[in-house]
Structure 1
Amino acid sequence: MAERQRPTSLRDRARYLFDRTLARSTGALLGWLAVGCLAIVVPVSALLVWTDPDAPRSLSGRLTAVWRTSAETLRLGGVTGAPLRMLLSVLLGLITLLCVSTLVGVITTGLGDRLTELRRGRSTVLERDHAVVLGWSDQVFTVVGELIAARADRGRGVVAVLADRDTAEMEASLTAGPDAVGAVRLVCRTGSLTDPEALGLVTPDAAASVLVLPAEGADADLEVVRILLALRALLGVRTGPPVVAAVRDERYLSAARLAAGPRGTVLETDLTTARLLVQSARRPGLSAALRDLLDFAGAEFRVVDAADSLVGLPFAEIASCFEVSCVVGFLTADGRPLIVPPPGTVLGPGDRLVVVARDASPVPPVDCRAYVDRTAVAPPGPRPEEPSRVLLLGWNRRAPLVVDLLRRTALPGSRLDVVTGPDAGPPRPVTPPDESGRLDVVHHPGDPIRPETLRALDLFGYDSVVVSAGEVGAGPERPDDRTLLTLLMLRSLEEEVGRALPVVAELCDHRSRALAPLGPASDTVVRGELTALLMTQISQSPELAVVFEEVFAARGGALALRPAGHYVLPGREASFATVVAAALERGECAIGYRAHGPRTARRDDGVRLCPHKAERRVWGTGDEVLVVWAGPADRGGAGGADDRVPRMRRSHEGGDSPAGVPLG
Structure 2
Amino acid sequence: MKRSQKVRYIIDQFLSRGTLAIVLMLSIITFAAVLLIGILSHMFAGGDTTVFETLWTSLMQTLDPGNLSGVDGSFWYLLLMTIATIVGIFITSMLISVLSSGFQQKLENMQKGTSQVIEKGHTLLLGWNDNIPVIVSEIITANENVKRPVIVILSETDTLTVQDGLKAMMKDFKNTKVIVRRGEIHLKDNLEMCSIAHARSVVVAENDDVAIIKCLLGISQTAFFAPEAKGHVTAIFSDPQNLMAAKKMCGERLEAILLSDAMNRITAQTCLQPGLSFIYKELFDFEGNEFYFFNHPSLAGKTMKESLCRFSNATVCGLFKDGTPHINPKMDTVIGADDKLIVICEDDDKAILVEHHEERFADRIVKTPHKASRSVRRILFIGYNPSLLSVIEEMCPFVMKDSHLSFLVPTDTDTTLLDSTLRHCEVGYDIKKGVTYSNDALERLEYTKLDTIVVIANDLSDGERSDSETLLSIMHLKNILNEMKLDIPIIIEIERIQNEPVLHYASVDDFIVSNVLSNKMLCQIAENRHLNAVFNELLGEEGSEIYLKPAKHYVKMDEPVDFCTVVESAALKREIAIGFRLKHIHENGGVVLNPNKKKEIVFTGGDCVVVLAED
Residue 344 of structure 1 is matched in structure 2 by 332
1:328 to 306, 312, 317: 317
TM-score (norm 1): 0.76
Amino acid of the structure 2 residue aligned with 1:592: G
Checking the alignment, whether the CA contact within 8 Å between 1:369 and 1:577 is kept in structure 2 is no
Kindly indicate whether the alpha-carbon contact (under 8 Å) linking 1:237 and 1:261 is maintained by their aligned counterparts in 2. Answer: no
Which residue pairs with 1:500 in the alignment? Answer: 487
Q: Does 1:452 align with 2:436?
A: no
Q: Secondary structure at the match of 1:265?
A: strand
- Contact in 2 for aligned 1:270/1:528 (Cα 8 Å): no
Separation in 2 of the partners of 1:518 and 1:251? 41
* Residue of structure 2 in register with 1:227 after alignment: 215
SS in 1 for 2:221: helix
Give, in angstroms, the shift of residue 76 of structure 1.
10
Contact 2:402 2:427 in 1 (8 A): yes
The partner residue of 1:286 within 263, 276, 279 is: 276
Equivalence for 1:565:
552
Shift of 1:118: 0.6
Q: Does 1:163 align with 2:155?
A: yes
What pairs with 1:410-559 in structure 2 (closer than 5 Å)? Answer: 410-422=399-411, 424-429=412-417, 432-434=420-422, 436=424, 438-471=426-459, 473-474=461-462, 478-516=465-503, 520-559=507-546
Looking at structure 2, the residues matched to 498 and 437 of structure 1 have their Cα atoms a distance apart, in angstroms, of 32
Distance 1:244 1:100 in 2: 55
Distance 1:437 1:339 in 2: 28
- Partner Cα distance (1:169, 1:431) in 2: 45
Among candidates 395, 401, 405, match of residue 394 of structure 2? 405
The 1:519/1:386 distance shift into structure 2, 3 A limit, reads farther
> Equivalent of 2:129, from 137, 142, 148?
137
Query: Which residue of structure 2 aligns with residue 243 of structure 1?
Result: 233
* Structure 2 CA distance for aligned equivalents of residues 83 and 446 of structure 1: 100
- Deviations along 1:354-403, one digit per CA (max 9) or x if unpaired, are 11122323623433252442334253364585432222222223222223
Segments of structure 2 that go 5 or more residues without pairing to the other structure are 1-62
Q: Which amino acid aligns with 2:368?
A: P
Letter in 2 for 1:461: K
Q: How does 1:31-430 map to 2 (within 5 A)?
A: 77-78=68-69, 93-176=85-168, 179-215=171-207, 220-234=208-222, 235-236=224-225, 238=227, 239-307=229-297, 309-332=298-321, 334-361=322-349, 363-380=352-369, 382=371, 385-422=374-411, 424-429=412-417
**Offset of 1:431 from its aligned partner?**
6.6
Give the counterpart letter for 2:111 in structure 1.
Answer: R
Cα deviation digits, residues 584-637 of structure 1 (max 9, x gap): 11111111112222xx245x34322222222112111121111122x3xxxxxx
- The 2-side partners of 1:431 and 1:100 are apart by 82
Greater mean deviation of Cα atoms: 430-439 or 122-131: 430-439
The question of whether the paired residues in 1 share the 8 Å contact of 2:382 and 2:436 is answered with yes
Greater mean alpha carbon deviation, residues 381-390 or residues 284-293: 381-390
Q: Is the 8 A contact 1:501 1:522 kept in 2?
A: no
Distance (whole Å) between structure 2 residues aligned to residue 522 and residue 119 of structure 1: 45
Q: CA RMSD in A?
A: 2.9
Partner Cα distance (1:521, 1:484) in 2: 10
Specify whether residues 453 and 331 from structure 1 end up closer, same or farther in structure 2 by C-alpha distance, changes over 3 A only: same
Q: Residue 44 of structure 2 aligns with which residue?
A: none
Deviations 1:303-358 (A, max 9, x none): 11133x322222211223222222122212x2122221112111123111111122
More helix by share: 2
Aligned residue pairs total 550
Equivalent residue number for residue 647 of structure 1: none
| Cα separation, partners in 2 of 1:437 and 1:85, compared to 1, 3 Å | closer
Residue 129 to residue 610, structure 1, CA distance change in 2 (3 Å)? same
Contact 2:365–2:569, Cα closer than 8 Å, also in 1: no
Partner of 1:132, secondary structure, is: strand
Residue among 595, 603, 608 paired with 1:624? 608
The alignment partner of 2:143 has SS state of helix
Q: Secondary structure at the match of 1:504?
A: strand
Q: Distance in 2 between matches of 1:406 and 1:430?
A: 14
Distance 1:195 1:397, change over 3 A: farther
Opposite residue 434 of structure 2, the aligned amino acid is G
Partner of 1:609: 593
Cα separation, 2, equivalents of 1:196 and 1:391: 51
Q: How many Å separate the matches in 1 of 2:191 and 2:460?
A: 27
**Aligned-partner SS, 2:90:** helix
Displacement, 1:178? 5.9
Please report how far the alpha carbon of residue 151 of structure 1 lies from its aligned counterpart in structure 2 after TM superposition.
0.7
Partners of 2:468 and 2:176 lie apart in 1 by: 34
TM-score (norm: length of structure 2)? 0.82
Q: Classify the secondary structure of the residue corresponding to 1:341.
A: coil
* CA distance in structure 2 between the partners assigned to 1:448 and 1:240 by the alignment: 51
Q: Secondary structure at 2:474's aligned position in 1? A: helix
| Aligned counterparts of 2:610 and 2:481: Cα–Cα separation in 1 | 28
Give the match for residue 60 of structure 2: none
Q: Structure 1 CA distance, aligned partners of 2:508 and 2:529?
A: 36
Q: Is the 8 A contact 1:171 1:188 kept in 2?
A: yes
Q: 1:127 Cα shift? A: 1.0
> Counterpart of 1:635?
none
Q: 1:103 to 1:265 in 2, by over 3 A?
A: same
> 1:519 offset after TM fit, Å?
5.0
CA distance in 1, matches of 2:188, 2:167: 27
